[in-house]
Structure 1
Amino acid sequence: MNPQEDTGARDGGASNRRPGRAYSAHFHLLDRQVVDREGRPVCKVDDLELAHDEHGRPYVTALLAGPAALAPRLGGLSARWLAAVQRRMSVGGG
């Protein structure tokens, strides 16, 4: 499917992607541009947060960008500092 065909989310309508369809997270999500409702670039996807359903199949629960994606990889004081900065800067304060 051509990503340009899936305009449901940007147009406020339902997405034309079928539920349950498998995608390659590396190819379809990582390092891809995230755009706002007007099509303006916001950020690029740095990492994914995953969970597992009752059958053990993984699914994406969040797209991570910027400090939210980097902090867990650093560890120690740097990670705690970066995570705190990210919480203060994020919408809703955390």
Structure 2
Amino acid sequence: MQLDAFLEKMTPAIHQALKLALELGKWPDGRAMTEEERDVSLQAVIVYEHEHLPESERVGYMPAKCKSSGTSSEEDGSAEDATILRFRN
């Protein structure tokens, strides 16, 4: 089946199943995805999301301005956003 034909038949349930398979690297039956299967599945997910979902819900979406784009607490000398992690044995 060609990608275009598959995309015409793709449903939201298939989209979610493909996303989960890509996240886990294996199909629902436990078989590992081949590199070719990953490539084609990722391509299908990206095209489906481009055609059916708003930009903010697509894979890889980053808001125009993220927290790291502003001045950090290290740059301005304040430590209000800093969190200290301590590990115990």
Which TM-score tier does this pair reach, normalised by the shorter chain? under 0.3
TM-score of the aligned structures, taking structure 2 as reference length: 0.27
Higher relative contact order (CA 8 A, sep 6+): 2
Choose between structure 1 and 2: higher helix proportion. Answer: 2
TM-score of the aligned structures, taking structure 1 as reference length: 0.26
Choose between structure 1 and 2: higher strand proportion. Answer: 1
Larger CA Rg, structure 1 vs 2: 2
